[in-house]
């Protein structure tokens, strides 16, 4: 039943999309896990991920994150691939494929799980630093920050946000020698209290709300399109082109999130 409702919602979202997202511009995709073996919507199978990448190779130009946030460059559909949190299955299943095709991608790392080896949730084994290093050495990877403990920044005072982000940035710098310049809000939840701190620390920040990146996009409220396992092969093209925004609106309504 849930499957049927989800599918009907996706179909309605495909129909609604041309009205909701008429603007052209690069699309930034959010993945979390690839072949993690969980039943979560944020965990796509390696077969489906392979199909997504094949679709992108045929229909789009995959850009490094920095180029995508700088806006469109031409007629072609432009896409950036991002992975949030930092799961080991990204190294095992997504990285080999992206390396073979020389497709750039971004890792928004939550540093505590990577540092301690303690998963964010049972089926979410974290990456190890040496795996991150190996991916960075490919020259394809942008490293971004995603807090230290994956906290909802809406629940923290600005000074707590500051120490949360400082902990993450210092670890990334110590372990990888990279100072992160980009930030992803956990769950895409923007907060007014965190906004000033985020703007001071990072050149860009991304949210979880679908849409293209346009010339007028606030560089600290950049939209991203969450890819879901149930998109499979059929709904991936519409997801990339239009974002399936209606589906996201319904999800926000259910979760009670009212932010940008």
Cβ proximity to Zn ion: between 84 and 169 the closer is 84
Cβ proximity to Zn ion: between 126 and 186 the closer is 186
Cβ proximity to Zn ion: between 17 and 84 the closer is 84
The Cβ of residue 51 has, within 10 Å, a number of other Cβ atoms equal to 16
The CB-of-22 to Zn ion minimum distance in angstroms stands at 29
Regarding 248 and contact with Zn ion (CB under 5 A), the answer is no
Regarding 169 and contact with Zn ion (CB under 5 A), the answer is no
Binding to Zn ion, residues 92-151 (CB under 5 A): none
Regarding 43 and contact with Zn ion (CB under 5 A), the answer is no
User: By the 8 A CB rule, do 244 and 209 touch?
Assistant: no
The CB-of-167 to Zn ion minimum distance in angstroms stands at 16
Residue keyed to tokens 């400082």? 166
The CB-of-32 to Zn ion minimum distance in angstroms stands at 7
**Torsion angle defined by CA atoms of residues 86, 234, 249 and 94, in that order, rounded to the nearest 10 degrees:** 10
The Cβ of residue 220 has, within 10 Å, a number of other Cβ atoms equal to 18
Cβ proximity to Zn ion: between 186 and 211 the closer is 186
Q: Any idea what the Cα angle at residue 146 is, between residues 159 and 41, rounded to 5°? A: 130
DSSP state letter for 177: S
Cβ proximity to Zn ion: between 186 and 223 the closer is 186
The CB-of-84 to Zn ion minimum distance in angstroms stands at 4
Regarding 85 and contact with Zn ion (CB under 5 A), the answer is yes
- β-strands 141-145, 105-109 pairing: parallel
Instruction: Choose the binding region for Zn ion from 64-72, 82-90, 137-145, 156-164 (rule: CB under 5 A).
Output: 82-90
Cβ proximity to Zn ion: between 183 and 235 the closer is 183
Binding to Zn ion, residues 172-201 (CB under 5 A): 186
Regarding 89 and contact with Zn ion (CB under 5 A), the answer is no
Alpha-carbon span 127 to 105, nearest angstrom: 16
The CB-of-98 to Zn ion minimum distance in angstroms stands at 19
Q: Given candidates 43, 84, 164, 247, which one binds Zn ion under the rule CB under 5 A?
A: 84
Cβ proximity to Zn ion: between 60 and 183 the closer is 183
Residue nearest to Zn ion (CB): 84
Alpha-carbon span 97 to 47, nearest angstrom: 11
CA distances (Å), 88 to each of 58, 84, 113, 114, 206, in order?
Answer: 27, 12, 11, 9, 22
Spell 64-85 as b/e; 16+ CB within 10 A means b.
bbebbbebbeeeebbbbbbbbb
Alpha-carbon span 218 to 206, nearest angstrom: 10
Q: Could you list the residues that contact Zn ion (CB under 5 A)?
A: 84-85, 186
């Amino acid at each position: 039943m849930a499957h049927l409702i989800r599918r009907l919602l996706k179909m309605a979202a495909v129909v609604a999309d041309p009205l909701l997202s008429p603007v052209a511009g690069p699309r930034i995709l959010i993945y979390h896990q690839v072949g993690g073996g969980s039943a979560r919507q944020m965990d796509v199978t390696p077969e489906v991920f392979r199909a997504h990448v094949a679709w992108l190779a045929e229909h789009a130009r995959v850009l490094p994150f920095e180029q995508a946030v700088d806006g469109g460059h031409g007629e072609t559909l432009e896409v950036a691939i991002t992975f949030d949190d930092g799961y080991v299955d990204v190294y095992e299943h997504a990285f080999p494929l992206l390396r073979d095709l020389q497709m750039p991608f971004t890792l928004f790392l939550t540093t505590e799980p990577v540092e301690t080896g303690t998963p964010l949730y049972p089926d979410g084994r974290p990456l190890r630093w040496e795996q991150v290093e190996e991916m960075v050495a490919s020259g394809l990877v942008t490293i971004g920050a995603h807090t230290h403990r994956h906290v909802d920044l809406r629940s923290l005072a600005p000074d707590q946000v500051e120490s949360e982000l400082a902990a993450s940035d210092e670890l990334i710098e110590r372990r990888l020698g990279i100072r992160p310049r980009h930030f992803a809000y956990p769950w895409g939840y923007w907060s007014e209290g965190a906004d000033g701190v985020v703007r001071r620390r990072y050149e860009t920040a991304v949210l979880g709300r679908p849409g293209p990146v346009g010339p007028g996009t606030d560089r600290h409220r950049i939209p991203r399109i969450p890819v879901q396992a149930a998109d499979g092969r059929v709904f991936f093209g519409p997801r990339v082109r239009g974002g399936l925004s209606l589906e996201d609106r319904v999800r926000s309504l259910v979760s009670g999130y009212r932010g940008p």
